[in-house]
Amino acid sequence: MATEQAMLEEEELVLSELNDDELVEQMHEDLYDGLKEEIVEGTSILLKRNWSAEKVLNESLVEGMRIVGVDFRDGILFVPEVLLAANAMKGGMEILRPLLSESGIKPIGKMVIGTVKGDIHDIGKNLVAMMLEGAGFEVTNIGINNSVEDYFQALEKHQPDILGMSALLTTTMPYMKVVIDEMVKQNIRDDYIVLVGGAPLNEEFGRAIGADRYCRDAAQAADVAPEMVRARRRGAISRA
Amino acid sequence: MIDSPRPRRTASRAGRTVRAGRARKLAARQRGIADEFVSWIDRRIPCFEVLDAEALELIERNADTVLEEVGVEFRDFPRALELWKDAGADVDGERVRFPRGMCRSLVTATAPREFTQHGRNPRRSTIIGGERTVMVPGYGPPFVHDLDQGRRYATIEDFRNFVKLAYMSPGLHHSGGTICEPVDVPVNKRHFDMVYSHIKYTDKPFMGSVTHPERAADTVAMAKLLFGEDFLVHKTVVTSLINVNSPLTFDATMLGAATVYAESNQATVISPFLLAGAMSPVTVAGTLTQILAEALAGMAYIQLVRPGAPVVFGSFAAAVSMQSGAPTFGTPEPSLILYGAGQLARRLGVPFRSGGGLCASKLPDAQAAYEAANTLQTAALAGVNFMLHAAGWLEGGLSMGYEKFIMDADQANMIAILLQGIDLSENAQALDAMREIGPGSHFLGAAHTHANFETAFYRSNVADNNSFEQWQQDGSLDAAQRANGIWKQMLRDYEPPPLDPAIDESLVDFIARRKSEYADRDY
Ligand code: B1M
């Protein structure tokens, strides 16, 4: 009975009839529930009401995903729910991205992520990609078994802020150093933030191979990534 | 009446004959544990079964549906696709779909129900399959943990230590494989040192390298030096761990290694290694279906490579935390999967691998002990034939614990007794004891007790059963601290089993030559 009533109420909800504050609040709820269509609709409505893309991004999407992140960290939300939320966020981002770049607003960040050569472990890496998408990143997931050439091709094509590498085997994690050394050799190391992760790594290993940070899990990666992108941009601005 | 054994006159002291009471007992009770040759457990109790015939048929039917409709990918390994095409499967790119019943009939036609894995010491040769359980140490961890140094990357010295500890643990019948990953040796050469350690420091059977087909070939070459070229033609001396890259995928690394072993008649343990929820459906029935489909496809492939090559139906199932994605262990759902998978393997008539002292704990603490006990007992009752990860496993397989190893080995000893079931011999019926003692009184002095007390009850070397005061006097140690003392003492007492110096030399030469043929590489 109760659920039936709730469904009826939901059916009656017309997003365009809500005022701005109500709509933003509703979008936070809809992100939480992973409702992609509703997020796409809400995003369009706000834009039609002359909200700037940046304002939509920050007040509705990023803030909504922040709440999702907190409840994921606290064990209230489950992985499949976060996956849905991130997917809904992606729906909104697809509309906003061209507008943001038109108005010269830097995206929150871009990342290329893949598992290194010889390694097929990808569950953790996929979680990291999901969390970063949830944090508003544009993530290109290049899968497993990636050689130096594969990483370089992806860097060239997508020009990300961050290169993320994952390895789960002690027999493959040294390959991360091969990639970083090659970046140094080709003089492109400083063009990217390099984050590494995977269960057999540790902080010391991350330092030893010349990565910028080792991330112990997906939630930490999602915290660290935007922070580092912002810091790097601040650095870039002050240098300019 | 049963006579209590009378001490024999055994030694002479200062010209007169004496009865060597103390020396005799000391010698008997401190007998080197490595001298005991128990090469498997004979199970004499029924397996615990959770599915009835109808349920088993349902899972089998569903697995066939998966094999037929969805199929399995054999990635980057054209040889497998050719074999499947010739065998009549539907090959679409790298996806192979199998007519109903095809995999099952390939397996049942030629895969052995059981096989002997020979040890270099014939008394250690073990039989995998049937009503037997072989206990095998943990596999794969990049880290080791002990109470003194905490967690650190494993080295080749740790590897040797664990081989020695397994050799000295009578409840472990096998030396295992990558007992821990020696990260101080170059990646592309460490298999030589690992295989050599399994040959040199123990005489129990062992597992070979699977991280590259060439490394598998090196393992086979070393086995030939040890056993003789001809020996391997029809006999099995190496088992290997071939993981399925679930869901429904075999990768070139694993297929390459599996093919090398199968071609030379060595055993492959085809293991769907599932973190349910991530790599298989979240339900027990769905996961069982996927396990059966994957194991069937893998074992059937091996039979195509070499009909009759020994294969083991592997199953490693854990669940992921739906709140973080982290693997969890010792929980009830994987236990149900384990029981069910054992039944499916028996119906197929092939040996079954699963279980072990699995846990997610970082330390040899209460969580480690109860999660491990849950899985060890489940695996024992489920009729597992090859129990990989039986000792040492911590942290979801990321760490090999010295103390945990000792605690698990203690459990392994207990499992052996449990599975042997109830002795119903005249002696065990003990009617004489009850006649002798009658009402009241006690049995501690009974002749029957005298004749049986030494082996009547399992004596743990880890557990403390003393009074509080005695325990306090002994230093108030917990189980892990006691285990810490035990492994150190074992390593001090270790004596290597003799190895023919000519064979040893040929192995050392082979390794030196192979290592010099290509540069060290760290990936
Ligand atoms: C910015 O960039 C970043 C940032 C953070 C990043 C990041 C990147 N990547 C990860 N993170 C971090 O965030 C994630 C989310 O919070 C975390 O990711 P994780 O991946 O750690 O966590 C996941 C959410 C859950 N965890 C996992 O998914 C890994 C779990 C364990 C059990 C594991 C699994 C599942 C598998 N395995 Co493999 N496996 C093991 C693993 C043991 C363990 N407990 O870790 C390990 C890693 N495996 C091992 C082995 C040996 C192997 N495995 C193999 C195969 C497999 C499966 C296919 C069966 C399966 C992988 C399936 C898949 N699609 O990924 C084989 C190799 C195949 C190959 N060619 O690569 C094979 C070689 C098996 C064999 N036959 O010997 C061991 C490694 C040994 C070593 N030498 O290092 C191992 C420790 C288990 C063991 N004891 O044997 C963080 O690490």
Q: What is the mean pLDDT of each run of 10 residues along chain B (523 residues)?
A: 42 59 73 68 97 98 98 97 98 98 98 98 97 98 98 97 97 98 95 98 98 97 97 96 97 96 98 95 98 98 98 96 92 96 98 96 98 97 98 98 98 96 97 95 94 93 96 97 98 97 98 97 79
Residues of chain B with Cβ-Cβ distance to A218 below 8 Å are 325
Tell me the three state secondary structure of residue B117: strand
Find out whether the beta carbon of B279 lies less than 6 Å from any atom of ligand 1: yes
pLDDT 10s digits, A165-178: 999 999 999 999 99
Angstrom distance (rounded) from CA B404 to CA B391 = 7
How far is the centre of ligand 1, averaged over its atoms, from the C-alpha of A124 (Å)?
8
- Residue A1's pLDDT is what? 45
How far is the centre of ligand 1, averaged over its atoms, from the C-alpha of A200 (Å)?
8
Is residue A104 less than 8 Å (CB to CB) from chain B? no
Counting every residue written for chain B, the total comes to 523
Tell me the three state secondary structure of residue B427: helix
- Residue A27's pLDDT is what? 96
Residue A5 pLDDT > 60: no
Angstrom distance (rounded) from CA B427 to CA B442 = 18
Gyration radius of chain B's alpha carbons: 25
- Provide mean pLDDT across the span A16-38: 95
**Dihedral sign from CA coordinates of B39, B309, B302, B238:** positive
Answer for the pair A199, A167: CB distance below 8 angstroms, yes or no: no
Quickly count helices (H) and strands (E) in chain B.
Answer: 19, 22
- pTM for the whole thing? 0.92
**CA torsion B125→B128→B130→B132, rounded to 10°?**
70
Is residue B252 less than 8 Å (CB to CB) from chain A? no
Scan for tokens 């199932």, then name that residue.
Answer: B317
Angstrom distance (rounded) from CA B243 to CA B273 = 6
- Please state the φ and ψ torsions of residue B349, each to the nearest 5 degrees: 80, 40
Is residue B179 less than 8 Å (CB to CB) from chain A? no
pLDDT 10s digits, A89-124: 999 999 999 999 898 888 889 999 999 999 999 999
- Which of B181, B323, B522 has the CB atom closest to A75's CB atom? B323
Answer for the pair B227, B182: CB distance below 8 angstroms, yes or no: no
Angstrom distance (rounded) from CA B366 to CA B379 = 20
- Residue B10's pLDDT is what? 46
Interface predicted TM-score (ipTM) of this complex, two decimals: 0.89
Residue A10 pLDDT > 60: no
Interchain proximity A171–B523, CB inside 8 Å: yes
B325 to chain A, closest Cα gap in Å? 7
Q: Provide the token pair at B513.
A: 């030559």
The two beta strands, B206-207 and B238-244, are parallel
Q: Provide the token pair at B252.
A: 């070139």
pLDDT 10s digits, A183-209: 999 999 999 999 999 999 999 999 999
Closest CA to A111 of A97, A91, A132: A132
Angstrom distance (rounded) from CA B346 to CA B317 = 18
CA-angle at B390, arms to B389 and B393, nearest 5°? 55
Closest CA to B167 of B37, B358, B28, B353: B37
- Under the banding of pLDDT at 50, 70 and 90, the label for residue A3 is low
Kindly state the percentage of chain A with pLDDT values over 70. Answer: 93
Angstrom distance (rounded) from CA B175 to CA B135 = 9
- Which of A78, A124, A178 has the CB atom closest to B322's CB atom? A78
- Residue A29's pLDDT is what? 96
- Under the banding of pLDDT at 50, 70 and 90, the label for residue A26 is very high
How many CB atoms neighbour CB A229 within 10 A?
21
Q: Provide the token pair at A199.
A: 């269960």
